[in-house]
Amino acid sequence: MDRRLLVACCLSLVALAGCSGGAGGPTPTVDDATPTATPTAGAGEPTETAGLDLSVGAEIEASALVRAHETALANESYVFRSGFGLPSGARERASTVVRADEGLFEIERFQYHPLRGEAAALYAREGREYARFETGPVTKTVAQPNRTAVPTGRQALVGVESLTVTETIQQDGERRYVLTTGLEHESADRALPYRRAVVDERGLIHNYTSGEYVPPESDRPSEGLLVSRWFDLSDVGATTVDEPDWVTALRTTESDGPETTVVDHADLDTRFRVTGTDVEASVERLRDDAVVGSDHVDESRASPLIDLDIEGPVTNATVRVGYDPAGLPDGAEEGGLAVFVYNESLQTYLPLNTSLDADASVAVASRGPVVRYSSGGGPEQTLRPTLSDPTADRLVVTVMHAETWYSAFR
């Protein structure tokens, strides 16, 4: 390519790429359906809202119980815990904790992503799911359509036909009803699984336990397993959830697109925001690379060389890079800084339109002005440098003083 022509074109774009001041999941459902009515709990005998006959000896269809349970729980805040294991308790553990309050759901559960690892936190609001992943200095937050059904216990009763009211008890200052089927938990056999639900007047299930016999495996013909499942509801109507700052920031600054991923690298003071579908992004420091690093790059840059990586179809990408004003070349003005991205086709850096926050020493950029170039005396071509090309083998950015870099490049 004709470097002189490229330099001339790039120099004409310094002003365009130059810097201006300033900082540069459906509503979570209860599995299949979320009732909209919020009934009022009655006193004494079963209420009209529940529509359940809770007299001792009455048989109640599980589907009717689930409807009453979810109707009573609709629009309420609550804490939900569930678990599974063996009767000994050796494998039993809480696997899900949900706190719901005014449309914000905090979900504590094991969530593993093959590339991102285990989620440190998971929230849902207004049809969007917000997950946070932490690995060393790197924090990754993801906003996507809600993929986590906020549990109410519905799944635990799938396959159950009916339960029978066996007794009434006093619990938490109110009358509650014990519904069972099968034998005691410890003696459930292969013929009849055990179920036990404790419900209130509204049909709200406060506790549910089950025992299910699993036949022996072929290599252990004499052993069968009794697998248990349970869930508890507590603090109904009295739970609060505070939205963390990272959820608020992600929720209020999302770009258009099905999924937004933000990668924060604390050691590099770099934030990479990517919008797309099933996108994976990463940020790493680049060291000792003769291809993208050179003496004139080192003379011009005020930040590390940063390697960005994207996988998946991307609609938009923005990088926020912290820089060191003390790293400016002698006599160079801070206002002349810009984010540059390495272009493999041209084998050189190209400027991006950059916004500077001098108070925070931060440069923000997404895409650059159109660059015209020719190669080997061929016809003139154009390209617009961006950060959203997932086909690029290398996506390296750094903050450089534009005039210093162009002078050294020439």
- Residue 241: which residues within 8 A CB-CB, separation 6 or more? 77, 99, 100, 101, 102, 104, 105, 106
Q: CA-to-CA distance for 353 and 385, rounded, in angstroms?
A: 10
- Where would I find the beta strands (DSSP E) of 259-353? 259-265, 270-276, 280-285, 306-311, 314-322, 337-343, 348-351
Q: Which of 148, 154, 100 is nearest to 127 (CA)?
A: 148
Task: Give the distance from CA 342 to its chain's centroid.
Answer: 30
pTM score over 0.85: no
CA dihedral 133, 135, 136, 139 (to 10 degrees): -30
For the chain, the helix, strand and coil percentages under 3-state DSSP, each to the nearest 5: 15, 40, 45
187 and 68, same structural domain?
Answer: yes
Domain count, the chain: 2
pLDDT confidence of residue 118: 64
Most confident of 107-121, 133-147, 164-178, 370-384: 164-178
- Domain of 55 in residue numbering reads as 31-111+151-243
321 and 340, same structural domain?
Answer: yes
Is it the case that residue 181 has pLDDT exceeding 90? no
pLDDT confidence of residue 391: 64
Is it the case that residue 16 has pLDDT exceeding 60? no
- Where is the domain boundary, 243, 277, 308? 243
Sheet holding 337-343, edge to edge: 280-285, 306-311, 395-401, 337-343, 348-351
181 and 104, same structural domain?
Answer: yes
Is it the case that residue 232 has pLDDT exceeding 80? yes
- Residue 216: which residues within 8 A CB-CB, separation 6 or more? 222, 223, 224, 225
Give me the mean pLDDT over the 44-50 stretch: 45
210 and 81, same structural domain?
Answer: yes
Instruction: Please give the angle made by the CA atoms of 283, 289 and 291, to the nearest 5 degrees.
Output: 110
Please, what's the largest Cα pairwise distance for the chain?
93
Q: CA-to-CA distance for 239 and 227, rounded, in angstroms?
A: 31
pLDDT in tens, 106-123: 877 655 555 555 667 888
Does any domain span residue 337?
yes
Is it the case that residue 274 has pLDDT exceeding 60? yes
Does any domain span residue 53?
yes
339 and 196, same structural domain?
Answer: no
Q: CA-to-CA distance for 132 and 218, rounded, in angstroms?
A: 42
67 and 12, same structural domain?
Answer: no
Does any domain span residue 130?
no
